[in-house]
Structure 1
Amino acid sequence: MSAGPGRNWWPALRRTPVSMWNDDITDYAAALTYYAILALLPTLLVAVLAFGLISPGTAEEFITQVTDYAPGQSGATLHGVLESMLTQHSAVWTLLATGTASALWSACSYLAVFRRALHRMHRAPDRRSPWRKAPRIVLTALVLLSLLVVSGLVLLLSGPVAATLGRLLHLGSTAALMWSIARWPVLLCLVAVLVVVVFHTGPSPARRRRQSLPGGVLAAALWLIVSAGFTLYTALLGTYSRLYGSLAGAVVFLIWLWLSNLALLAGAQFTAELSRARGDGG
């Protein structure tokens, strides 16, 4: 008989770092970082080009809002890359088509790697044939990319909405200040939803709510802590600029993505440990 829900959390949490080491999770984080780059940049490119067709001003605002969340020098680098895409008027439809295809293929590859990692964590052999796995992975990839775009839209629209409400309610700059504080819990919720969607590519214990929800919350919280800590580190020390020069922004972005995927995998590993503590089968 398994213990109460809360009793298993601390033992599972203590075993998580050791299990991550034994399962070579840092290698999976590196592979996920590779596919995340291949998926994230085309997704942002498609979003920027689509906004550019509707309203160039909205596209500029979207770029600013998204890159504000990138750590250190990587925000300026990413901003320059995305802004340069707005000038590609003659090839916009070609870029939209190739960007969408590239984003979907890379997102599917990302989820396939994450699925293998989840099966290893849960000690559950993946017996499904590629033909049975492919439709689920493609569908999940479409949901994941859609959620990323929706998250960007929430960040884009919520700021002006808060400012408008502040003017209507005569709150002045108070509304903007309140939103600058409230956006982090909102971001935490969005990340937690994304995490739970990714967890659902794994074996049945990873998809159960009582395991996946605590793991998803842990992954989202770790991601926020890692992002804030790494941003503070790059801002205070600034050693990447001296070491890598003009490549500093790209290097910082890659390291941040690797740390983000490591946080995500830590939440997944905690889910696996929680499943074992409760005696759930795969």
Structure 2
Amino acid sequence: MPETTGTHERATPYRVVRRCGARRFAADTFRRFRYGDGFSHARAVGLLLCLAVVPFFIALTGLAEEAGARGAGRVVAYTALALTPGRSDALVRRLLLGEENGDTGEFALATGLTGAGLAVVAAMAQIERGANRLYGIRRDRPAAHKYGRAVVLTATAGIPAFCGFVMIVAGQAVGDALQRVYGWGVWTERIWTALHLPVALLLTVAAVALLFRHASRRHQPSTVWLLPGVVLATALWLGVTAALAWYVNSGLAFTQIYGPLAAVIAVLLWGNASGVALLFSFACTAQLEACRSGDCRPCEPDCSNGWA
């Protein structure tokens, strides 16, 4: 797909979509996502996200124990328990609030940070691969450049995205845990309640914008042309997160079906849905740029000559 960087025209994303037709644009975006193997790449991203979430929480608990900040460790534990569905409570309680942990803080810190860091770096590299295929780029960057950039994106986009995720999904639980452990005042609690969602959204949008700007192996257009994808990715991620949270907590036999594995299944579903939301938004920006360049084909013609 040709790059449109430096193209000077009065067209806007809205005008391009209107010229192509909103229905056709949506259908072509889905075709691009499908034929770019978006679902497979999304599953890979989702699995890597799941492999990062649990070790990172374990690392936070280990860090609190090593630093002697038992209060901070209990904030993490109470937050995790507040988010744990049904019968998984006992499993998480033994993991995070066990009284006979021994000298496991250093081990938990080292293994948790190592596992989470490697998983996030691999996820960033997988996002590059998925974005490249959706843009029609057949090869990724050379390995050293690819994983070096993935490390940088982990620090600049992955950490803000994780903080935004925790504040959105667990904002109220974090506030309750801090109140329980440290005895927050009323005004501090009100300030946290009022500000944690806007700050979380800001962190999430900034992280997604960095991914859209720097993940794929190409020169991206101006921010105006990336903004629809950034907004769509954020909205879809919020939507799937809210829908999954409602389903898990709605009492529709979720915890009865999965029992102690309910938390694991919930994280797997969330990771897969998050990967689909992100890469589908990449497909949207790719299709938008394709229509801007004048070639709206979302995929190569089928050359099977009638063979199934």
TM-score range, shorter chain: 0.7 to 0.9
- What is the percent sequence identity of the aligned residues? 22
Residue 197 in 1 paired to residue 218 in 2? no
Q: 1:113 aligns with which of 113, 122, 126?
A: 126
Quote how far apart the aligned CAs of 1:275 are: 1.9
Distance 2:118 2:163 in 1: 20
Structure holding more helix per residue: 1
Q: 1:39 aligns with which of 49, 52, 56?
A: 52
Q: Do 1:48 and 1:82's aligned partners in 2 also have CA atoms closer than 8 Å? A: no
| Letter aligned with residue 196 of structure 2 | R
Unaligned runs of 5+ in 1: 168-174
Distance 2:232 2:116 in 1: 27
Distance 2:91 2:219 in 1: 37
TM-score (norm: length of structure 1)? 0.78
Q: Do 2:42 and 2:279's aligned partners in 1 also have CA atoms closer than 8 Å? A: yes
Distance 1:20 1:87 in 2: 49
In structure 2, the CA distance between the partners of 1:104 and 1:95, relative to structure 1 (3 Å rule), is: same
Quote how far apart the aligned CAs of 1:114 are: 1.0
Residue 5 in 1 paired to residue 13 in 2? yes
Q: 2:200 aligns with which of 177, 187, 192?
A: 187
Distance 2:277 2:207 in 1: 13
Alignment RMSD (CA, Å): 3.5
User: What residue in structure 1 maps to residue 112 of structure 2?
Assistant: 99
In structure 2, the CA distance between the partners of 1:153 and 1:142, relative to structure 1 (3 Å rule), is: same
Distance 2:225 2:108 in 1: 40
Residue 16 in 1 paired to residue 37 in 2? no
Unaligned runs of 5+ in 2: 1-8, 296-308
Residue correspondence of structure 1 range 159-238 to structure 2 within 5 A: 164=185, 166=187, 176=190, 180=193, 183-199=196-212, 200-206=214-220, 208-238=222-252
| Letter aligned with residue 260 of structure 1 | S
Q: Do 2:137 and 2:217's aligned partners in 1 also have CA atoms closer than 8 Å? A: yes
Quote how far apart the aligned CAs of 1:92 are: 1.9
In structure 2, the CA distance between the partners of 1:113 and 1:9, relative to structure 1 (3 Å rule), is: same
Distance 1:98 1:33 in 2: 21
Distance 1:86 1:122 in 2: 52
Residues 111-167 of structure 1 deviation map (CA, whole Å, 9 limit, x = unaligned): 111111000111123353212222212222233443256545895579769x64727
Q: 2:256 aligns with which of 242, 251, 255?
A: 242
Quote how far apart the aligned CAs of 1:255 are: 1.0
TM-score (norm: length of structure 2)? 0.73
Quote how far apart the aligned CAs of 1:63 are: 3.7
Residues 213-255 of structure 1 deviation map (CA, whole Å, 9 limit, x = unaligned): 3212211111111111222223335232232222222212211
Q: Do 1:71 and 1:227's aligned partners in 2 also have CA atoms closer than 8 Å? A: no
User: What residue in structure 2 maps to residue 131 of structure 1?
Assistant: 144
User: What residue in structure 1 maps to residue 93 of structure 2?
Assistant: 80
Q: Do 2:244 and 2:266's aligned partners in 1 also have CA atoms closer than 8 Å? A: no
Quote how far apart the aligned CAs of 1:27 are: 1.5
